[in-house]
Structure 1
Amino acid sequence: MASTHRIAVIQWQIKELDIEYNHKTACGYISEAAAQGAELAVLPEYHLSGMVPTDPLWAVQAGESAKYLANYQSLAKELQICIVPGTIIEKRTESDQPTLFHNTAYFISNDGTVLGSYRKKNIWHPERPHLTSSGSEPHVAIDTPIGRVGMLICWDLAFPEAFRELIADGAQIVIAPTYWTPHDASPEARAYNPDSEALFLESTITSRCFENTCGVVFANAAGPSEDFLGLSQITLPLVGPIAKMGTEEGFIVADVDMGIVEAAETNYKVRQDLKKEDWHYVYRHTGRK
């Protein structure tokens, strides 16, 4: 019988450069989700400081990020819940260019250990002067208490290849922290459709589930609708979103029936095709046998 996992996605209006407020807010929501039996809680991208890389304080706070990761590890162990603390901005230690940072997602197990991490690969063009891509490093899935999962970050959603690598490596759930706003569309694009970014997310998340016979756990920043999208959701193939928010602050918890993922694969046989030796597209053959 397929397993069922209770998962929470959390969203709020992230206060720029108010790292203590944001961390306290995150911990409060995680604690509430754990009290409702959640096995995993996922936060948005840039959840500690927001996205203000031109402010000198942003770089200072990035240098202090390690202690907040440690705090989440302690909280995960205390509450016995897995946590993906959105993304954490980290100073590059391998470069003499102090203005470039890594944007990293971590998977913390329910015993407080870090099981894996992922650095954002596909950098949104306004971020490129400030962030460093993980480049040619492959997308790798990890074994967790809720099964084999992969992690992507925000603009990675636009690239089916990222999902394909994770699925080829056995991921059944893809976790995606984001900081996606209506203003990611240009004025020209919004003139055609002011809700284009919401349409992008709704269409893409569901499509990725069907294309890859996987679940997607999507956590985005929330706030007033003119500046934020929210739409945090948990989505599965065959059925679409099983839980979804608007722009309100808070969290949702859903029971994710992995039998739906199995039924989708039985129906579409996407993973089966990906494992063929004569697979005709250029994706890495790193799938588990």
Structure 2
Amino acid sequence: MRIAAVAAHFGRDLDRALRKIAGIVGDARDAGADLLVLPDATLGGYLSDLRHPDPNSLPPGLAEDSAEIQQVIALAGPMVVCFGYAEAVGQQLYNSALCVSGDGVLGRHRKVHQPAGEALVYAAGETFEPFDTPIGRLGMLIDYDKTFPEAARALALDGAAILACLSAWPASVTDRASRLPQDRQSRLFDLYDCARAAENQVVWASANQTGVMGGLRFLGQAKVVGPGGDVLARTSSKGGLALAELDVEAETARSRRILHHLQELKPAAYQGLR
């Protein structure tokens, strides 16, 4: 199986985003990708300020049956594609992700964990639920969700062998480094990607925004991580496609042959997590 994770910039312009998605999907298809993971907020961009979001400059809210989402479904064709958008439900917005193929929606996720002022704009999701796809059982998380080990663990325990994490992860807002690779958030972004894969012995596909939105500078650093926590492919802070080919079932089984983390859990010892 070939898995591709994207580093790219997406802003408010939906028509431009759809043209960019079409180009990326075409490149991924030419590369033989079976799964393509796009960043958080692919349609409409992310917030421009995490501490004090501008109510007059929010991502456009879209319903799941909107023309824009139907266009992404049509573009996907036989490929499995994950992408992020601002989901409108009545007057409420969710920071959401969809997993689609040309046949329609395969799975969905609403971001559960909210950093800083995101709760001023979005309602929070409540669950982590994997779903079956043509390439196997898959789960999704949205950026800050991956900071919490329980999120990825819940998906892995429910049978997900591939976890897709869609991010709009910026450099540090309070302690910005002069160069992105030296930024504290850059280090944490990579650390969480590798740790979550290794903890759960799953394949991890991490996509992220690049460029600048208002006061936020996004890190890029898209990657595919194997079930041993090894980075199989990655991009830099600039746009690009991280593409890795592996046998997910065989590699997952190999990583669990001696030490099987999910089977060796001791739930009775974790009373504080209730």
Aligned match for 2:228, one of 230, 234, 238: 238
Aligned match for 2:3, one of 3, 7, 10: 7
Counterpart of 2:99?
A: 107
TM-score by length of 1: 0.82
Instruction: Name the structure with the higher strand share.
Output: 2
Change (3 A) 1:172 1:63: closer
Aligned match for 1:254, one of 215, 223, 244: 244
SS at match of 1:161: helix
Distance between the aligned counterparts of 1:282 and 1:161, measured in 2?
13
Does structure 2 conserve the Cα–Cα contact (< 8 Å) formed by 1:11 and 1:232? Answer: yes
SS at match of 1:11: strand
Distance between the aligned counterparts of 1:167 and 1:241, measured in 2?
19
Post-superposition shift, 1:197? 0.7
Distance between the aligned counterparts of 1:26 and 1:75, measured in 2?
8
Spell out the pairing of 1:69-218 with structure 2 (5 A cutoff): 69-77=69-77, 80-85=78-83, 87-93=84-90, 98=91, 100-109=92-101, 111-135=102-126, 137=127, 139-183=128-172, 185-187=173-175, 194-218=182-206
Post-superposition shift, 1:24? 0.8
Post-superposition shift, 1:55? 5.0
Alignment root-mean-square deviation, CA: 2.4
Change (3 A) 1:270 1:283: farther
SS at match of 2:107: strand
Higher mean alpha-carbon deviation, 209-218 vs 233-242, is at 233-242
Aligned residues: 261
Any unmatched runs of 5+ in structure 2?
48-52
- Aligned AA for 2:119? R
TM-score by length of 2: 0.87
Does structure 1 conserve the Cα–Cα contact (< 8 Å) formed by 2:234 and 2:241? Answer: no
Post-superposition shift, 1:75? 1.4
Distance between the aligned counterparts of 2:262 and 2:204, measured in 1?
16
- Aligned AA for 2:28? A
Change (3 A) 1:164 1:63: closer
Instruction: Name the structure with the higher helix share.
Output: 1
- Aligned AA for 2:209? A
Any unmatched runs of 5+ in structure 1?
285-289
After superposition, give the CA deviation of every residue in 1:159-184 in whole Å (9 maximum; x if it has no partner). Answer: 0010111111011111000001113x
